[in-house]
Structure 1
Amino acid sequence: MTVHKTPTDVWLPIPADEIDGLPEPGASGLNYLFWDGGPDFPGDPASCVFYVVPYMKGEQIAVRPLSGMSRVRVVQTLSAGIDHVTPGIGALPSGVRLCNAKGVHEASTAELTLTLILASLRGIPGFVRGQDAEEWRSGFYPALADKTVLIVGYGSIGAAIEDRLTPFECARVVRVARSARRGEHGPVHAMADLPELLPDADVVVLSTPLTPETRHLADADFLGRMKDGALLVNVARGPVVETAALLKETETGRIRAALDVTDPEPLPAGHPLWHAPGVLVTPHVGGSTSAFMPRAKRLLAAQLTRFAAGEDPSNIVLTT
């Protein structure tokens, strides 16, 4: 008689022996396999029950094994967004939990957001160019103090950004999410309120997930409602901003922008965003810091401990 074993493979983009607190393979019955997006799969996708998506490897790699994962129960990203995985979820069986990395990226992304705001307002890119040219570019520059900051996308990252704005004596922090609610720090407005909120904001921070509703949220109308001299900061996803519309506004100097994400991405050589007036570009490094790996490992250990115990994972974004 042939005995068919229940599949128990877990695909990890971090070697299991580098993650403290994982359930022991023998006791849990889980079999840990390392796959970081290489050309060869570490095992049969049909035997995978828990798939951790390789980090920052793009949509093509993220979804490549999904069509063969007929018994997978959890798909876990190591990013806050899940847009690189959702194109492949139609191939998954019903009941699969898709989980994001809430708790991993808040600190690093909020740090970069403040860095982009301060660097743009205080003219740091110009100072660096001045140093390269041995030019003393003194003068008066905008401060963050007394400014109104509008945070569009008030989830855990948006809240972390507000926490770090607190010492800077902003005039106001205005919060916007998909729907209105009462937040820990005050009222959260609905997206429908954006037209009336944008004209009063000195700094507009985008920290929304990329969804059909937020794609090109910052379009010509959105940007046109921003006040003269305002700063747009995008730490969400590149397509949340309509690039052509942004270029039209920045080329006139009416508004400025600081972008950790772009559309297209990576930004190709020769693209006009590289040299658009008042635009600061960083190469999607919001979460890529020394804080990432310890938090990612803790998340995976906690999620797999729940999974081995038959409990629901945390951070469920959707169920197929």
Structure 2
Amino acid sequence: MTSTTRTDVWLPLPVDSVSGLPESLDYHFWDGGDEFPADPARCAFYVVPYMKGPQASVRPIPEMRAVQVVQTLSAGTDHIEPALAGLPAGVRLCNAKGVHEASTAELTLALILASLRGVPGFVRGQDEEEWRSGFYPALADKSVLIVGYGSIGSAIEDRLAPFECARIARVARTPRTTARGPVHALDQLPALLPQADVVILSTPLNPSTRGLVDAAFLAAMPDGALLVNVARGPVVDTKALLVELESGRLRAALDVTDPEPLPSGHPLWHAPHVLISPHVGGSTSAFLPRAERLIAAQLTRFAAGEPVHNVVHTTG
């Protein structure tokens, strides 16, 4: 079989670094650079470059008229889905379920513990050679609300389990029952928020969640509560959050912001009681081996004519 009859795959990782790839496919390495590695019109399986920005990620898509699968290496696909609108029906968009759960859940717990226990203040105290002793809030005996109970939300609860929380409540778009307890619908938030000492956002960004955390949502949280966002920045109304932070009523720990990256001079940088990390929930040493396993598994299914996993959207 000549290369002209084989199926083109675009990978953002060097081909020889990914073990287990089917030999029946033709691979082209592209990590978002200016030059395309091959004709986009021949690409059948496109693995989107990771952390290269939405403009680079979507740039070849309008020319990919033969593409069948678009595979992201991110949990969220909101930056890719709009670019698929002009493609033929039947193109499957897949997310990176299984890649980011552990790392994102780790960071979520780190942000909660650092914020509650005053770690940012300790670091500033160390810089100033100040001994900032005293009593600080614990995670133990707190009531926690997880908003967005997919695989990442479930992984977060896995790691909350040893911390002796008083109560963990779960909210998702679709209510259901799990082994741990009920998952409530989004419309139950007004009743659940006043009971939550810690509110964790791990929901995808879509029309139902954009701006979900608005002034009314924040006002329903009790005094002193902590908002943790490891989802997407636009899930939160930044101006409404700033009002609550500057009043001293609420605290926040944010791995994502709106706008993002947060520009120099933005008031969120220096708002009281806020801890900010630069969207590093998934970018850890755990990413690459999991991403490589996902790519190899998906392409093995694709080459064999089997259904790919993690489909979150199909065009048409």
Same fold (TM over 0.5): yes
After TM superposition, list the pairs within 5 Å mapping 1:14-25 onto structure 2: 14-24=13-23
How many Å apart are 1:13 and its aligned residue?
0.3
Match of 1:182? 177
Asked whether the 8 Å contact 1:48–1:69 carries over to 2, the reply is: yes
Partner of 1:234: 229
Aligned length: 314
Indicate conservation of the 8 Å contact 1:46/1:69, yes or no: yes
Deviation at 1:212, TM superposition (A): 1.1
Residue of structure 1 in register with 2:8 after alignment? 9
Q: Is 2:54 the partner of 1:59?
A: yes
Contact 1:261 1:282 in 2 (8 A): yes
Task: Name segments (4+ residues, structure 1) moved above 2 Å.
Answer: 3-7
Contact 1:34 1:42 (C-alpha < 8 Å) held by counterparts: yes
Amino acid at match of 1:51: Y
Q: How does 1:64-103 map to 2 (within 5 A)?
A: 64-103=59-98
Which of the numbers 188, 196, 205 marks the counterpart of 1:193? 188
C-alpha distance after superposition, 1:112-149 (max 9, x if no partner): 00000000000000000000000000000000000000
Matched, 1:303 2:302: no
- 1:58 Cα deviation from its structure 2 partner: 1.7
Of 89-98 and 162-171, the range deviating more from structure 2: 89-98
Which shows bigger deviation, 105-114 or 89-98?
89-98
SS of the residue aligned with 1:50? strand
1:7: Cα distance to partner?
5.7
Q: Do residues 162 (structure 1) and 171 (structure 2) align?
A: no
- Report if aligned partners of 1:109, 1:235 keep a CA contact under 8 Å in 2: yes
Query: Superposition pairs for residues 143-154 of structure 1, below 5 Å?
Result: 143-154=138-149
**C-alpha separation in 1, matches of 2:313 and 2:158:** 28
The 3-state SS of whatever aligns with 1:264 is coil
2:39 is matched by which residue type in structure 1? D
CA positional deviation for 1:184: 2.7
Query: Could you give the per-residue CA deviations for residues 85-121 of structure 1, whole angstroms, max 9, x where no partner exists?
Result: 0120112111111000000000000000000000000
Mapped pair 1:32 → 2:31: no
- What is the distance in 2 between the residues matched to 1:92 and 1:99? 15
Native 8 Å contact 1:7 1:49 kept in 2: no
The question of whether the paired residues in 2 share the 8 Å contact of 1:178 and 1:191 is answered with yes
Structure-1 separation of matches of 2:276 and 2:189: 25
Which letter maps to 1:164? Answer: R
Which residue of 2 is the match for residue 216 of structure 1?
211
Task: Give TM-score scaled by structure 2 length.
Answer: 0.98
1:66/1:91 contact within 8 Å kept: no
Name the CA distance, whole Å, in 2 between partners of 1:155 and 1:101.
13
TM superposition shift of 1:4: 11
CA deviation map 1:58-105 (0-9, x unaligned): 211111111100000000000000011012011211111100000000
SS of corresponding position for 2:85: helix
Query: Could you tell me how far apart the structure 2 residues matched to 1:20 and 1:175 are?
Result: 38
Contact 2:3/2:26 (<8 A) preserved: no
Q: Matches of 1:145 and 1:90 in 2, distance apart? A: 47
TM-score, with structure 1 as normaliser = 0.97
CA RMSD, Structure 1 to Structure 2 (Å):
1.1
Q: Secondary structure at the match of 2:10?
A: strand
Contact 1:66 1:88 in 2 (8 A): yes
Contact 1:63 1:87 in 2 (8 A): no
User: Partner letter of residue 16 of structure 1?
Assistant: V
- Secondary structure at the residue paired with 1:91? coil
- Cα distance in 1 between the residues matched to 2:6 and 2:93: 19
Report the Cα offset of residue 191 of structure 1.
Answer: 0.3
Q: Which structure 2 residue ranges, 5 or more long, are not aligned?
A: none
Q: Deviations over 1:165-210 (max 9, x none)?
A: 0000000110000021012311100000001100000000000000
